[in-house]
Structure 1
């Protein structure tokens, strides 16, 4: 879990005049305190206050209920072993006869509580402890199957769905063979078919780059894949796009290769300096990555020419919505090397216009019971707007953001993994909706728990 961001003492100057001119910046709003309190407390849209759960698992608004689908340490229904730890990114896919297939990441490192069991034909590196599991739900939402979907990968953080109903799982590491006991290089994207994992196997999509992957989103019009990089130290990660040789070719088509490029915002070497919602950048550039395999040098350290490249700390969630791709910077700390501080940003990139806009800025927390920092995984809510998983200090929430930019708390974790004197709650991850929009699925990272939430969704 990331450490809680520190309160900003002053608002920072966004850009020097010369940089602003070069980047065609236009400020259209100022909502930096948008997330400083719950929306329902201010009379805004939402589902009302959260009701404490008597079972101590998940607090929800009145009228909503949850079902626990899976918990770490329980036996997998397939008999392959135990449900692994560190529940992270996830997606839901429609199956036959009203069934739903959930594919769930497990962000296990070399040392972890419960590794993903190795299964013949589905294991990339026997020394990798991460991977994915797949759950099958019937038309009433009951679990009918749970099995290993891929094993032998490492630090499977997030990913994203494809238009052909498979899951792209991402390794958030750059460890090579011989490091930490691994027998193969890591830092890749893998395709997983939740309905039948053996149709995809355990094959790295190497052309999509080897770096500390976080999440991906695919433009359904042309098959371009957008990728975030959550690098842990300066220089921080990049925002990428992958141009596949066989766009929208269906399951297995991404193995055909393609070209990897990184985003350059002219005049902006670090996105953290942008502090105003509505800040808009036209003429976004895409620069070919010199060595996507990072054979000698990590991509973010490579030479992108005299104009450089644009970095950002904690690039995490990534999601396609409408005609745009949204991506998240969870926070930026100048003490850790960022050019400025912030509590979380959500960006929107419009490919047709080559336009980048800062659409949401998170504000400081004033109470551990209120949302306000470190957005992580995001998805589009069934009724419009966004759902955001919070990953910061204090209480952990799933936050809703309406189309009008109003925020409300949708869920709060109630599983105390600390002590009575110093409580702590596991972050949320993997928020996603069933194909019919009637159920929200979400993970608690620690202790690994997968919830299905139903109720009066609008």
Structure 2
């Protein structure tokens, strides 16, 4: 099967690619640099004798939690389908981890229902929360919210809470649900009972993927991972209480969708460094999608901008980054690509395509279908891979080099037809010394430590 390994321009020939432009996110390497990861990252990946996680020399991992084990709270078993995650600073050097579980109605191990934390008893998804001490040992593990559905990703807020997103539009009466789904919920990582299980309805009802918050303005950016045409939109939510704080988003606000003038489909843009000015934001006619899904609604004669597989979303510096994992013309996209990372600058109202992933045939190198992303201590990006074949967490340096950081060694297929689960939820501890990441299947949460470079 053809794989996507290098960040590449459309139509580039040969193995060596060099990008032009001054954007720090642009990849500026060659195939030779890719094979010599010691010059671009932390060195080659060392096979793990325990068959769990391959890392560079000098790095080590600890398994914090695995699906099927008993929650330390005694509330039931650790749920399956580990997905989006974030880390928060606690008292006395403690770290709080909040972890999504993307369980549908057929989820292997549902999130246990807990009084005061359950939205819809028929929902199998939700979040669990782990508290680690200053040495990284797990102190507690408990349910943070239950009764939600398909909790895929989300994102942290500047006031120290987690916004978990439902990637579904199922209504009450569908799949046995007793309430409408497709909302964002706020979770307090230190005390989930303070946040409860209240949908943030003003932020829209659609197939949510991830969010990122502008810490200066309080604006929340949201991605939509729609599976069929018309594809998803990129949104921003203008809260009534932009100063933030636990529960502030319940006060409501205005939901808008991004329009790139003259670009109905982001997949049609293939050149890294392509920049669009005067980005427009259009009010969503019916954020609750009471009769029509938002992406189907009428945004006027000029329409709205769509993109296939909008997933990861992260705030970095003064800009928001978001990911389109792939686009396929066979599915109805305007063009094909193997992954894009876009940057929106709210100060200048510009949208820039900063990374495009291109084709290669090496099954052992990253990467295709980028998904969750976060900032690394070195100032670059860490990207989770969600595609075919071997799965990686890979980094993009401030200079634009890509390197493999971790490889999933848990074969969930057979010796002759191996298969590996995707990575998700990559995040760093507040002090930058530990990378936390999930393996989706079998649900496993890792803590990775080692000689991280810092800036």
**Global fold match (TM > 0.5):** yes
Partner of 1:187: 182
Deviations 1:292-348 (A, max 9, x none): 000000000000000000000000000000000000000000001100000000000
Partner of 2:330: 335
> Which residue, 382, 389, 394 being the options, matches 1:387?
382
Partner of 2:120: 125
SS state of the match for residue 364, structure 1? coil
CA distance in 1: counterparts of 2:351 and 2:428, whole angstroms: 26
CA distance in 1: counterparts of 2:324 and 2:123, whole angstroms: 27
Partner of 1:160: 155
Deviations 1:157-208 (A, max 9, x none): 0000000100000000000000000000000000000100000000000000
Deviations 1:111-156 (A, max 9, x none): 0100000000000000000000000000000000000000000000
> Which residue, 309, 316, 336 being the options, matches 2:311?
316
Q: Is the Cα contact below 8 Å between 1:329 and 1:344 reproduced in 2? A: yes
Q: Is the Cα contact below 8 Å between 2:3 and 2:361 reproduced in 1? A: no
CA distance in 1: counterparts of 2:290 and 2:212, whole angstroms: 25
CA distance in 2: counterparts of 1:446 and 1:92, whole angstroms: 21
Q: Is the Cα contact below 8 Å between 1:259 and 1:288 reproduced in 2? A: yes
Deviations 1:14-36 (A, max 9, x none): xxxxxxxxxxxxx9489789697
SS state of the match for residue 117, structure 1? coil
> Which residue, 231, 234, 255 being the options, matches 1:236?
231
1:139 aligns with 2:139: no
CA displacement at 1:11 relative to structure 2: 4.1
Decide whether aligned partners of structure 1 residues 299 and 310 sit closer, same or farther in structure 2, where only a CA change above 3 A counts: same
What value does the CA root-mean-square deviation take over the aligned residues?
2.2
Partner of 2:396: 401
Partner of 2:59: 64
CA distance in 2: counterparts of 1:71 and 1:389, whole angstroms: 19
Decide whether aligned partners of structure 1 residues 196 and 40 sit closer, same or farther in structure 2, where only a CA change above 3 A counts: farther
CA distance in 2: counterparts of 1:82 and 1:122, whole angstroms: 16
CA distance in 1: counterparts of 2:412 and 2:401, whole angstroms: 30
Q: Is the Cα contact below 8 Å between 2:423 and 2:437 reproduced in 1? A: yes
CA distance in 1: counterparts of 2:143 and 2:3, whole angstroms: 34
Aligned pairs (5 A) from 1:172-211:
172-211=167-206
TM-score, normalised via structure 1 length: 0.93
SS state of the match for residue 255, structure 1? helix
CA displacement at 1:41 relative to structure 2: 2.0
Q: Is the Cα contact below 8 Å between 2:172 and 2:179 reproduced in 1? A: yes
1:289 aligns with 2:284: yes
> Which residue, 83, 87, 109 being the options, matches 2:82?
87
SS state of the match for residue 39, structure 1? helix
TM-score, normalised via structure 2 length: 0.94
Partner of 1:150: 145
CA displacement at 1:368 relative to structure 2: 1.3
Aligned pairs (5 A) from 1:104-119:
104-119=99-114
CA displacement at 1:382 relative to structure 2: 1.1
SS state of the match for residue 249, structure 2? helix
1:374 aligns with 2:369: yes
Q: Is the Cα contact below 8 Å between 2:318 and 2:345 reproduced in 1? A: yes
CA displacement at 1:44 relative to structure 2: 3.7
Q: Is the Cα contact below 8 Å between 2:173 and 2:179 reproduced in 1? A: yes
1:259 aligns with 2:243: no
CA distance in 1: counterparts of 2:244 and 2:190, whole angstroms: 18
CA distance in 1: counterparts of 2:196 and 2:104, whole angstroms: 21
Q: Is the Cα contact below 8 Å between 1:392 and 1:427 reproduced in 2? A: yes
CA distance in 1: counterparts of 2:133 and 2:31, whole angstroms: 40
Q: Is the Cα contact below 8 Å between 2:37 and 2:44 reproduced in 1? A: no
CA displacement at 1:219 relative to structure 2: 0.2
SS state of the match for residue 446, structure 2? strand
CA distance in 2: counterparts of 1:419 and 1:365, whole angstroms: 25
CA distance in 2: counterparts of 1:328 and 1:433, whole angstroms: 19
CA distance in 1: counterparts of 2:71 and 2:5, whole angstroms: 41
> Which residue, 294, 307, 315 being the options, matches 2:302?
307
1:274 aligns with 2:277: no
Partner of 2:340: 345
CA displacement at 1:412 relative to structure 2: 0.2
CA distance in 2: counterparts of 1:190 and 1:370, whole angstroms: 36
Decide whether aligned partners of structure 1 residues 228 and 35 sit closer, same or farther in structure 2, where only a CA change above 3 A counts: farther
CA distance in 2: counterparts of 1:5 and 1:335, whole angstroms: 18
